[in-house]
Amino acid sequence: MSQPSATRRRVDPRAERAARTVLAGPRPRLLRQPAAAISNERRRDPRAIREAALVQRQPRPRYDWTRDAASAGSSAAMGVFVAAAPAIPLQVIAEPAYLVLALLDRPGGEVSDHDRQVIAAARLLADSGSDGGGGAVVTVSTGSGEALAEAGSDRHVALPDGWADDYVPERRAAAASALMAALSPRHVLFPDSADGGDVARRVAAAAGERLFTGVQSLAPDRATRQSAGGSLETGHRPTRLMTVAADAFAPLDGVRHEARPLDLAAPAIAGEEVLPRLGGARRLAVDPDALSLSETDFILSAGNGVTDWRSFAELGEALGATRAGSRVVCDAGHLPRERQVGASGTVVGARCYLAFGIAGAPQHLQGITGVHHVIAVNTDLHAEMIKRADLSIVADAQAVMPALIRLIRERRHD
């Protein structure tokens, strides 16, 4: 005969019934749970929760749903359990054994994904050098280093703000050469982009050093890149100067470094004596519809909820956005097939995706996983696209499109 398990509690139905009886008599009333089980449970008061989260009453109430979590006393009183996000420890490299420079593009002042990937690659070299790591990553760009601390920067050299919009690669290259002379870094990494690659080649030519371009993997003793259309892999000992291919390194997540400003003598970064040899370089306006969906930054997309195609085209023009759509609208011939976003269309990584009348089927959402900001216009509040969006307008697409066009024209006229 098997022995009863040591952990199994014997149930005494009579004793449990007695514990739950709140009204004895001919018709006893029982609690649904044993009294002991509910004694610590507080009732949730939705009104109190709403009140705690209210940050602005007029003209329209606004709520900050993190506030009821922050007001720990009241949330505890309401029986709401909120797990505090664990603080990310600050990594300090006080006495770096060596330096790895990361010269960033920061187009338009923003830290791009490619910039973050370059910092991640630099971190790899700083944390696991052939002598076991202990290096520090020094980022170099216009703007402050604050935004770079969570990307992995230990020190930051800020280039003059006026350089952000000027295309003067000679000046950046001169600043990079001056920084190399001042800091003697072990490695200098650049994004393998149009601007970053240009500066890197100028720096390599000035230093008379070899540049290893398009790096796709890095280890302390080996850097590789692909060639011959991806059919060959070329390996090399990491050189001092390297450009980092786009999307080869995952940006860091869950780290916090100092990004401490590095004060250097002005000549090290100013490069004033450099006279630009390019005269009047400026960015050209391109037809957004001529760009491929994978390289455009702003997409205006239509789904089956769009019927006013004239307004859709006008809005695309007014916004300067590239037009795209769901499979349903491409199947119906409203847009060419190469404009289809999704699993069986193009996977896009735009900065902004403005979706009119798109339900948000899984196959469509797969195409926009890399989009930074999604704005959805849909009549159905419960549409999946609304759940994915950072900003939603629950309204008829045919009403919102002309209203937006009007607004843009008024603003331009002003």
Binding site for ligand FAD (CB under 6 A): 303-305, 326-329, 340-345, 357-359, 361, 363-364, 367, 377-380, 383, 396-398
Shortest spacing between CB 176 and ligand FAD, in angstroms: 43
Pick the closer one to ligand FAD by CB: 104 or 355: 355
Pick the closer one to ligand FAD by CB: 170 or 308: 308
Pick the closer one to ligand FAD by CB: 153 or 326: 326
Pick the closer one to ligand FAD by CB: 162 or 362: 362
Copy the structure tokens of residue 258: 């100092």
Pick the closer one to ligand FAD by CB: 297 or 396: 396
Pick the closer one to ligand FAD by CB: 169 or 349: 349
Pick the closer one to ligand FAD by CB: 251 or 402: 402
Shortest spacing between CB 344 and ligand FAD, in angstroms: 4
Shortest spacing between CB 60 and ligand FAD, in angstroms: 23
Asked if 189 and 171 touch (Cβ cutoff 8 Å), the reply is no
Residues 6+ apart with CB under 8 A from 61: 54
Pick the closer one to ligand FAD by CB: 176 or 365: 365
Asked if 238 and 221 touch (Cβ cutoff 8 Å), the reply is yes
Shortest spacing between CB 405 and ligand FAD, in angstroms: 16
Q: Residue 23: enclosing H or E segment and its boundaries?
A: strand 21-23
- Which of 127, 159, 112, 84 is closest to 257 using CA atoms? 127
Pick the closer one to ligand FAD by CB: 52 or 302: 302
- Which of 245, 244, 224, 248 is closest to 236 using CA atoms? 224
Shortest spacing between CB 239 and ligand FAD, in angstroms: 42
What are the start-end ranges of the E strands in 128-174? 136-142, 155-159
Copy the structure tokens of residue 339: 């404009």
Residues 6+ apart with CB under 8 A from 153: 102, 119, 137, 138, 139, 145, 257, 258, 259
Taken in order 340, 341, 342, 343, the sign of the CA dihedral is positive
- Which of 405, 400, 365 is closest to 379 using CA atoms? 400
How many Cβ atoms are within 10 Å of 207's Cβ, its own excluded? 17
Shortest spacing between CB 402 and ligand FAD, in angstroms: 13
Asked if 102 and 138 touch (Cβ cutoff 8 Å), the reply is yes
Give dist(CA 164, CA 109) in Å, integer.
Answer: 6
Copy the structure tokens of residue 129: 């050098």
Shortest spacing between CB 291 and ligand FAD, in angstroms: 19
- Which of 229, 185, 189, 182 is closest to 211 using CA atoms? 189
Shortest spacing between CB 343 and ligand FAD, in angstroms: 5
Shortest spacing between CB 367 and ligand FAD, in angstroms: 6
Shortest spacing between CB 333 and ligand FAD, in angstroms: 14
- Which of 360, 399, 398, 364 is closest to 376 using CA atoms? 360
Shortest spacing between CB 406 and ligand FAD, in angstroms: 18
Pick the closer one to ligand FAD by CB: 204 or 386: 386
Pick the closer one to ligand FAD by CB: 126 or 341: 341
Query: Phi/psi zone of residue 31: left (φ > 0), alpha (ψ -120 to 50 degrees), beta?
Result: beta
Taken in order 224, 225, 230, 233, the sign of the CA dihedral is negative
How many Cβ atoms are within 10 Å of 217's Cβ, its own excluded? 16
Copy the structure tokens of residue 188: 């200098």
What are the start-end ranges of the E strands in 35-95? 54-56, 62-63, 90-91
